[in-house]
């Protein structure tokens, strides 16, 4: 649960409001049996955590062997509070497909098209609007569009079929903006003066690294599932970025002048900023006890466990929470969805601007709450989000 007694009290949530937010509105579980990898039955999920600010419910489709109903539900809950914090007219939802993300493109197309076919009524009705997540990208969103032929039923599409310029890099751009705000307000300096370690060099981590490098930050470590590297003088992110296009996760094995380090040790480096931008649950209690960064910016969803978060609080290491730091993607998705409804066009600079405005506005609100009540940023972000949800439920006559 993301809500605790302190947040419930500070957000002035009634017992009824808490009861509505306590459990998911709807959980859908089904199986794909036809045209699946090696004839394997594939478990699939779609979860609506809260429709208070929807429908539609908004959240990406994750494709991974580690996908489960529990994980999909947790991620849908995160989307509820992220969408609310950003002031978006979306409930929180999430899709999950339990299969390898490294399938051949043709087989991946079959799986994602089968998934879209099974939830077609959810898509046609506008109850759920998917987007890319771990293991999926614009190609898979195009496959969903091929099923529905309605531009507003899916976001994160290629530009030629209604996607918007800047959507692919949107999450990384938002993380860069959040990192800059946190650096100025918490560390009292500029990003250009700091060292950064980024765990994960997929779409989110790569774009985050690239944007921060452009701001003058020294990216001293990056990692993928294939390995981690370190260079105290700073890694040439532009070269690694280009290498990633051809080598994928193996790009970290080809970076020049960088020292290969043990995978996982990038989380423990003596850096100014740590950005976990891969998977959830990596900053455990044990990692938090040895973590040396002065600031953690959560690029991934739920990268810090509850015990890990408790240790970081005790050590006075500030954390910019996921629902604030990585919200650039869903903000851009909102711009794409809105454009699909109206038929308007969006330029890349406009995508960046709407992300910048939303991240800055939300961060200012969170900083005010954090300062006035003297609570950590994570709790402050949850209080701001929960208050907005309370007002929405009140306006709908739910409470």
Query: Which positions are annotated as active-site residues?
Result: 94
CB atoms within 10 A of CB 251: 23
Task: Give the three-state DSSP class for 156.
Answer: coil
CB 289 within 8 A of CB 309: no
Task: Give the three-state DSSP class for 152.
Answer: helix
Q: Which two tokens stand for residue 293?
A: 């960064």
Cα first-last separation, the chain: 21
CB 153 within 8 A of CB 126: yes
Sheet strands (E) in the chain? 26-32, 42-50, 57-58, 61-63, 91-97, 128-129, 195-199, 218-224, 227-230, 259-261, 273-276, 295-297, 319-320
For tokens 């699939």, name the residue: 44
How far apart (Å, rounded) are the C-alpha atoms in residues 210 and 241? 8
258-263 LR contacts (CB < 8 Å, sep 24+): 258/229, 258/230, 258/231, 259/229, 259/230, 259/231, 260/227, 260/228, 260/229, 261/221, 261/228, 261/229, 261/230, 262/228, 263/223, 263/227, 263/228
CB 204 within 8 A of CB 170: no
26 DSSP β-pair partners = 48
How far apart (Å, rounded) are the C-alpha atoms in residues 96 and 119? 12
How far apart (Å, rounded) are the C-alpha atoms in residues 139 and 136? 8
Q: Based on C-alpha coordinates, what's the Rg of the chain?
A: 20
CB atoms within 10 A of CB 102: 13
For tokens 């991934």, name the residue: 300
How far apart (Å, rounded) are the C-alpha atoms in residues 117 and 263? 39
């Amino acid at each position: 649960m993301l809500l605790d007694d302190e947040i419930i009290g500070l957000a002035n949530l009634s017992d009824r409001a808490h009861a509505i937010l306590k459990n998911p509105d709807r959980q859908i579980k089904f199986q794909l049996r036809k045209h699946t990898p090696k004839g394997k039955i594939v478990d699939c999920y779609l979860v609506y955590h809260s429709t208070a600010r929807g429908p539609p419910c908004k959240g990406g489709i994750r494709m991974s062997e580690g996908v489960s109903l529990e994980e999909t539900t947790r991620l849908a809950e995160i989307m509820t509070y992220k969408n609310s914090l950003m002031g978006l007219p979306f409930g929180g939802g999430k899709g999950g497909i339990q299969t390898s993300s490294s399938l051949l493109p043709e087989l991946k197309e079959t799986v994602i098209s089968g998934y879209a076919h099974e939830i077609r009524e959810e898509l046609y009705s506008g109850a759920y609007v998917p987007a890319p997540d771990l293991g999926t990208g614009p190609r898979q969103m195009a496959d969903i569009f091929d099923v529905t032929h309605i531009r507003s039923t899916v976001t994160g599409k290629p530009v030629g079929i209604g996607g918007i310029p800047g959507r692919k890099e949107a999450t990384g751009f938002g993380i860069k903006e959040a990192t800059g705000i946190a650096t100025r307000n918490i560390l009292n300096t500029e990003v250009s003066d700091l060292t950064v370690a980024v765990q994960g060099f997929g779409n989110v981590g790569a774009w985050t690294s690239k944007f921060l490098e452009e701001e003058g930050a020294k990216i001293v470590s990056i990692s993928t599932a294939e390995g981690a590297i370190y260079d105290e003088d700073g890694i040439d992110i532009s070269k690694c970025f280009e290498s990633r296009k051809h080598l994928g996760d193996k790009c970290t094995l080809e970076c020049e002048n960088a020292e290969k380090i043990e995978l996982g040790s990038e989380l423990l480096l003596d850096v100014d900023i740590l950005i976990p931008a891969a998977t959830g649950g990596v900053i455990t209690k044990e990692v938090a006890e040895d973590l040396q960064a002065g600031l953690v910016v959560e690029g991934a969803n739920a990268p810090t466990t509850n015990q890990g978060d408790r240790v970081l609080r005790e050590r006075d290491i500030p954390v910019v929470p996921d629902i604030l730091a990585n919200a650039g993607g869903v903000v851009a998705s909102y711009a794409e969805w809105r454009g699909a409804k109206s038929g308007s066009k969006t330029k890349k600079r406009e995508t960046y601007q709407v992300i910048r405005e939303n991240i800055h506005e939300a961060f200012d609100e969170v900083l005010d709450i954090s300062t006035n009540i003297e609570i950590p940023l994570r709790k402050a972000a949850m209080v701001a989000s929960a208050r907005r949800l309370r007002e929405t439920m009140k306006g709908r006559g739910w409470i």
